Structure 1
Amino acid sequence: MDPTIVRIVVLSGLWLVWTFVLIAILLSFVFCAQTVRRRFNTTQLLGPARNNDDLDPIGCKAKYGPVYSVPRTLFERTIVLNDASGIEHFYAQTPTVYRLTTATRRWTGNIVGEGLTWVDGAQHEAYRKVLTPLFGANAIESHAPTFSAMAKKVHLVWEQALVSRPRGMVVEISHWMNSVVLDSLGLAGFGYDFNSLAGEYCPTTAAFYVLRAPVTTLSDKIFRFGPRTWFWPLLRHWPGHRNRILREFQAVVKAMVDVVFLKQVPMTDLPKQSFIDSLMKTLAEDQLRLSPSEVATQVNTWLFSGFETTAASLTWVLIELAKHPRIQERLKKELRQLDEAEVARQPYLHAVVYESLRLHPPIGMTTRVAIRDDVIPLSGIVMTKAGDSVNSIKIAKGTHVRVPIRPVNTSKELWGPGAGAFDPERWWNLSTQDEPAPSGQKIKHLAFGDGSRACIGSGLALAMIKVVVFTLVRRYTFALPRGPQTPVEAVGEPVARPQVKVRGGSGGTAVMMVVRKCEFVDEPATSVL
């Protein structure tokens, strides 16, 4: 080979190597500069060391105070807020100061798409303006008959099964609540019956089981932890089992939306009062245009944001009633005196549901990243790492800040000495989720978040839970096979599902529940289907 050509090839290779080296050095310099800036412009708080595996938020709060920091990356730490004033400021400054983290957006974009839960800033405000009327009082009222019909389907199945089981039967309660919520969302969303109550295979249910299944293989680890890495775009189409099921679900939703757009189904032929019907009418009235993929993303958001969170919350309500027979009996008596139209504003039902949500919020934490420097005011004094006492903390741009919702919702400092107990009495006089916290409390309910990114479908979820509880609790008695003291723990993320705790603390089992027919007799189940 010509020595000149060899020389050119070698020099070109060296030039490419040095170019990559220089880029790496430059990026490293920028990263180090940003890290140093964040460190010097963020209050250095007490917190566990990097090699400490015990990051339990309750234990950390007891040891380090209401505001502390936990390790995030090799050089970064996340600020954790358990202080009432700090939490109020944090949510009030979302999204002006605090926005979704990169990892959250990658994960949400891969699972749901670039919908309401993915966008931020001005785009989020625009999406929310369009979607808010679709979750208003009138929309919720229009969906109530669907929720009722699905709950009565469960009643029909149970009633027939109990004919030969007069002493009661044992059911896996999570399965039934998953099915009733999924079928309700399908029909209320776009007139599609997943028919999961009939036991048919459903790609949506399969997708959710895949999301919360244990991580065991390399493919599982890529699926679960890939979005947290910078090279995620190269892995998002990884041909793993979980990705295949997720894509199958997304294909089902896309097919539904394509029927509306590609075949140009007239608006008069869309399922009346459904989410997609209301969305199309809103877009037409406001002369807004969304592509088929954008509409599919909103449908994905409707299902993914509503299904598992509502199903888990509904399951927890029944668990708490099973663990507190006296409260269950009181609720049962009050529900028997109600007409279905009165369910939404029944005070004690509202109290029971709200108290269960306080103890078992569907999402356990809120984590955001600061897009500019900020100062967070605090209710009291906290100690810094240097031993100083401060009543506010400095937050530098790029710092992650977290509110641990479950510990906050059960904090004795914020909710009083009975914070960890199931006590609906604290809410009994409230009738809507928009009212403030009970008298004497220092913070309001955070089960649906707060601020501009609070759950847009909270009213819809509450309505569904109340209708299902009304339909089932007035007809059946719920009990845990091992009695009221059966230990049930929250497992998984981002949505914590209930599991019966086993001895030794390793793992758990599904929540089996004894269901018995009440002596109370009302209209036959077949008359409402």
Structure 2
Amino acid sequence: MAAGELVRSALQAMSWAQLVVATAGSLAAYQVLDQAYGYWKRSRSPLRDLPGPRTDGNFLFGHLRMMFRGDDNEVQRGWADEYGATFSIRGMLGKYQLVTTDDRAITHILFASHIFQKPESQRRGIVRFLGEGILFAEGAQHRDQRRIINPAFGFSQVRDMTEIFLEKAAQLRDIWSQKCIASGGTTRLDALDWLGKATLDAIGKAGFDYEFGTLNENGTKNELAAAFEGVMRRDTTPLQQIRVLLNTQFPLHRVIFSKKKMDEIGMRIVQEKKREILDEMGAGRIEKNTVGGKDLISLLLRANLAADLPPSQRLSDSEVLAQIPTFIVAGHATTSNATAWAMYSLAVHPETQMKLRAELHQVGTDAPALDVLNALPYLDYVTRETLRLHSVVLLVPREAQDDDVVPLETPIKDRNGNTISSIKVRKGDEIQVPIALINRSKAIWGADADEFRPERWERPPAEASALPGITPNLMTFLGGPRSCVGHRFAVAEMKAFLFHIVRGFEFELAVPRSELWTRTGAILRPQLREDNSIQLPLYITPVQ
């Protein structure tokens, strides 16, 4: 009997139920074998020959679970102490990850952005929530977005926006002053929560001329602020972090509804801005090199509507829309946390706080221009030291799109005892750009790299000059084609808030220093050990 007839006879003899079970079993077996083969293939990566931890790994999470259990990135720093500047760990589902602080290797990885891109699985989940803005776009799409967005973050544009930063900082100062008066002189508050409100209002006004109104006395939130909060919730426990990861694949109804509402309001803003620009220009031509406007979306739309911009380089309305949540995330969460860490550092170093306050009191106005703020050396030192010591973003992941060879400045010995001056990376291998690890490297910053000492910025070490960061001597804003386009914006906003806060108040921790910690995660934030709540409790007193 022919093979085809045997198969037909077998199928005829089976009931529908048996056929369904057999099909499901075959699919399950295929999935298991496919995953097993994938795990075996990943385990053959050339990165397996690098030094690094080989125990306590997990089949699903690799060494990441161990790493994210620690306090203030202590596990990764321990690996760097034990294995040196370049090592490998296991990531999700057995993938190897290269971790290196070698400046030549980091430079190669950051500038070869066509090879080393965001891991597709993470990018897909983030895009679902926030859209394909400049932070999450890749390849030609990112290049086109960056070309149009870059001018909006130029020095002259950020200088104009500093007025908004100072206005919101002064509003925050006045609210805190009223709370101190109501408390009889000194009050306790959660500085991180208040900074989050103030920076959200600042990015709303500077980003797209929108009033969130989160600093309003009645505490009510408008619909865009409420929608954004529904999408981006604080994760304070490992269980909540897992929930966030699952939401990227299986979003909750609340998240889907909030994202839909955020897109509706955002598109309304984009369309209104576009109409305003077209009405303003009338029949005149909008030229790319003559665009103006104060808020980021207006600047972006003007550049996008320019008559001398080739149609192939224009952004669609959905791409412009995607910049709104991107601006909110980049200009709100990171800046509020960075400013909170500055307040934490100044609270535990009162002599530094006094020194900075003395400098700020020499400024004869409540509304200094950005040039004045940038001319204050100690404010600059405190800002840079905070960004170095308390990197808000722990690391940036990348995935190799092709096989590659990563050169090393300093040769290392692999697990077999061979001295190597480059590392082979295979397509699919992952790389960590360990921002926090580089910023605290003792090889760069010396034995006191873990200490808050703004004076080190009077003469930064020569080793730091080799770092490929877009901000000199720092990796906080990365470097290369994917460096942070808003680094000037973030620093100006941070300086504006510190100007009014430090000038206006003396402050100290409201709990013992040992009661505060930071869970290792994507964003490093101060937390209370008692209940793991994300906050920075301070006692503040107005300066007489």
Q: Normalized against structure 1, the TM-score is what? A: 0.83
Alignment of 1:355-374 (within 5 A): 355-374=385-404
Per-residue CA distance 1:52-73 (angstroms, 9 max, x = gap): 6643201222222222221224
Given residue 328 of structure 2, which amino acid in structure 1 is its aligned partner? L
Choose from 307, 321, 327 the match for 2:332: 307
CA contact (8 A) 2:42 2:94 kept: no
Q: What is the match of residue 266 of structure 1?
A: 279
**For 1:155 and 1:26, how far apart are their aligned partners in 2?**
58
CA contact (8 A) 1:190 1:271 kept: no
Choose from 109, 114, 118 the match for 2:127: 109
How far off its partner does 1:472 sit?
1.8
**For 1:124 and 1:272, how far apart are their aligned partners in 2?**
23
Given residue 206 of structure 1, which amino acid in structure 2 is its aligned partner? E
**For 2:36 and 2:265, how far apart are their aligned partners in 1?**
42
Does 2:504 match 1:475?
Answer: yes
Alignment of 1:482-497 (within 5 A): 482=511, 485-486=513-514, 488-491=516-519, 493-497=521-525
How far off its partner does 1:360 sit?
1.0
**For 1:466 and 1:278, how far apart are their aligned partners in 2?**
23
Choose from 137, 140, 154 the match for 1:119: 137
Q: What is the match of residue 424 of structure 2?
A: 394
Secondary structure class of the residue paired with 1:455: coil
Given residue 356 of structure 1, which amino acid in structure 2 is its aligned partner? T
Q: Percent identity?
A: 25
Choose from 276, 287, 301 the match for 1:280: 301
**For 1:65 and 1:275, how far apart are their aligned partners in 2?**
42
Equivalent pairs counted in the alignment come to 494
Per-residue CA distance 1:153-211 (angstroms, 9 max, x = gap): 11222223333445311111011111110001111122211110112223156236525
Q: Which is further off, 268-277 or 98-107?
A: 268-277
Given residue 320 of structure 1, which amino acid in structure 2 is its aligned partner? S
**For 1:104 and 1:428, how far apart are their aligned partners in 2?**
39
CA contact (8 A) 1:191 1:274 kept: yes
**For 1:492 and 1:37, how far apart are their aligned partners in 2?**
26
Query: CA 1:205–1:125 in structure 2 vs 1: closer, same or farther (change >3 Å)?
Result: closer
Q: What is the match of residue 84 of structure 1?
A: 103
Choose from 150, 154, 166 the match for 1:132: 150
Q: What is the match of residue 62 of structure 1?
A: 81
CA contact (8 A) 2:236 2:534 kept: no
Per-residue CA distance 1:37-60 (angstroms, 9 max, x = gap): 882544622322324664320122
Per-residue CA distance 1:282-310 (angstroms, 9 max, x = gap): 11212654333222111121112221011
Secondary structure class of the residue paired with 1:273: coil
Q: What is the match of residue 526 of structure 1?
A: none
Given residue 255 of structure 1, which amino acid in structure 2 is its aligned partner? R
Q: What is the match of residue 317 of structure 1?
A: 342
Given residue 333 of structure 1, which amino acid in structure 2 is its aligned partner? A
**For 2:277 and 2:386, how far apart are their aligned partners in 1?**
44
**For 1:96 and 1:271, how far apart are their aligned partners in 2?**
32
Query: CA 1:213–1:293 in structure 2 vs 1: closer, same or farther (change >3 Å)?
Result: farther
**For 1:196 and 1:99, how far apart are their aligned partners in 2?**
36
CA contact (8 A) 2:292 2:299 kept: no
Query: CA 1:158–1:44 in structure 2 vs 1: closer, same or farther (change >3 Å)?
Result: same
Per-residue CA distance 1:450-476 (angstroms, 9 max, x = gap): 211111111001001101111221121
Choose from 343, 346, 356 the match for 2:376: 346
CA contact (8 A) 1:259 1:265 kept: no
Choose from 401, 409, 414 the match for 2:444: 414
CA contact (8 A) 1:489 1:498 kept: yes
Q: Which is further off, 258-267 or 178-187?
A: 258-267
CA contact (8 A) 1:207 1:249 kept: no
Q: What is the match of residue 156 of structure 1?
A: 174
Secondary structure class of the residue paired with 1:329: helix
Query: CA 1:278–1:507 in structure 2 vs 1: closer, same or farther (change >3 Å)?
Result: same
**For 1:268 and 1:159, how far apart are their aligned partners in 2?**
44
**For 1:427 and 1:224, how far apart are their aligned partners in 2?**
38
Given residue 491 of structure 1, which amino acid in structure 2 is its aligned partner? R
How far off its partner does 1:29 sit?
6.7
Q: What is the match of residue 235 of structure 2?
A: 212
**For 2:220 and 2:149, how far apart are their aligned partners in 1?**
31
Given residue 433 of structure 2, which amino acid in structure 1 is its aligned partner? V
CA contact (8 A) 2:339 2:494 kept: yes
Q: What is the match of residue 180 of structure 1?
A: 198
Per-residue CA distance 1:349-374 (angstroms, 9 max, x = gap): 11100100101112110110111222
Q: What is the match of residue 463 of structure 1?
A: 492
Choose from 9, 21, 44 the match for 1:39: 44
CA RMSD of aligned residues (A): 3.5
Query: CA 1:26–1:333 in structure 2 vs 1: closer, same or farther (change >3 Å)?
Result: closer
Given residue 253 of structure 1, which amino acid in structure 2 is its aligned partner? G
Choose from 314, 328, 334 the match for 2:359: 334
Per-residue CA distance 1:297-347 (angstroms, 9 max, x = gap): 111211122210111111111111111111111111111112512012322
Per-residue CA distance 1:3-42 (angstroms, 9 max, x = gap): 99x949979x969977995998599679848964882544
Choose from 462, 487, 491 the match for 1:439: 462
Q: What is the match of residue 525 of structure 1?
A: none
Does 2:264 match 1:251?
Answer: yes
Q: Normalized against structure 2, the TM-score is what? A: 0.81
Given residue 82 of structure 2, which amino acid in structure 1 is its aligned partner? K
**For 1:415 and 1:221, how far apart are their aligned partners in 2?**
35
Does 2:325 match 1:296?
Answer: no
Q: What is the match of residue 285 of structure 2?
A: none
How far off its partner does 1:422 sit?
0.6
**For 1:297 and 1:509, how far apart are their aligned partners in 2?**
28
CA contact (8 A) 1:480 1:486 kept: no
Query: CA 1:205–1:170 in structure 2 vs 1: closer, same or farther (change >3 Å)?
Result: farther
**For 1:360 and 1:193, how far apart are their aligned partners in 2?**
30
Query: CA 1:369–1:509 in structure 2 vs 1: closer, same or farther (change >3 Å)?
Result: closer
Residue segments in structure 2 that go unaligned for 5+ positions in a row: 1-7, 68-74, 283-290, 468-472
CA contact (8 A) 1:361 1:448 kept: no
Residue segments in structure 1 that go unaligned for 5+ positions in a row: 430-436, 520-529
Q: Which is further off, 381-390 or 119-128?
A: 381-390
Per-residue CA distance 1:384-424 (angstroms, 9 max, x = gap): 23333323221111110112211221121221111111111
Secondary structure class of the residue paired with 1:133: helix
Secondary structure class of the residue paired with 2:477: coil
Q: Which is further off, 387-396 or 286-295?
A: 286-295
Secondary structure class of the residue paired with 1:427: helix
Per-residue CA distance 1:127-172 (angstroms, 9 max, x = gap): 1011000100111011111111111111222223333445311111
Does 2:97 match 1:72?
Answer: no
Q: Which is further off, 83-92 or 391-400?
A: 83-92
How far off its partner does 1:262 sit?
8.2
